[in-house]
């Protein structure tokens, strides 16, 4: 390894990445919540909701991994 990976610049970049992931998680969850309030869904909306669920789970996994480096 070259250089020190525990410097303030890396810490700031890590904080920004975690913050961006939390913001993306909020957007995905808000969109999922709005969809749950719809009276009915067609198959295309079901596929879109499934995609949002996968996106949400991916973000949560990234946040879990980031927690190892906090």
Q: Does some domain include residue 46?
A: yes
Give me the DSSP letters along the chain. --S-SSSHHHHHHHHHHHHHHHHHHHHHHHHHHHHHTSS---HHHHHHHHHHHHHHHHHHHHHHHHHTT-
Q: Does some domain include residue 29?
A: yes
pLDDT tens per residue across span 7-62: 777 778 888 888 999 999 999 999 999 999 999 999 999 999 999 999 999 999 99
Q: Which domain holds residue 62?
A: 8-67
The total number of structural domains in the chain stands at: 1
Q: Does some domain include residue 39?
A: yes
Q: Does some domain include residue 23?
A: yes
Q: What is the pTM of this model?
A: 0.77
Q: Does some domain include residue 1?
A: no
Q: Does some domain include residue 2?
A: no
């Amino acid at each position: 390894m070259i250089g020190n990976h525990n410097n303030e610049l890396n810490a700031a970049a890590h904080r920004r990445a975690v913050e961006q992931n939390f913001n993306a998680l909020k957007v995905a969850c808000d969109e999922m919540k709005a969809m749950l309030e719809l009276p009915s869904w067609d198959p295309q909306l079901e596929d879109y909701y499934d995609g949002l669920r996968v996106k949400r789970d991916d973000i949560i996994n990234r946040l879990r991994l980031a927690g190892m480096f906090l």
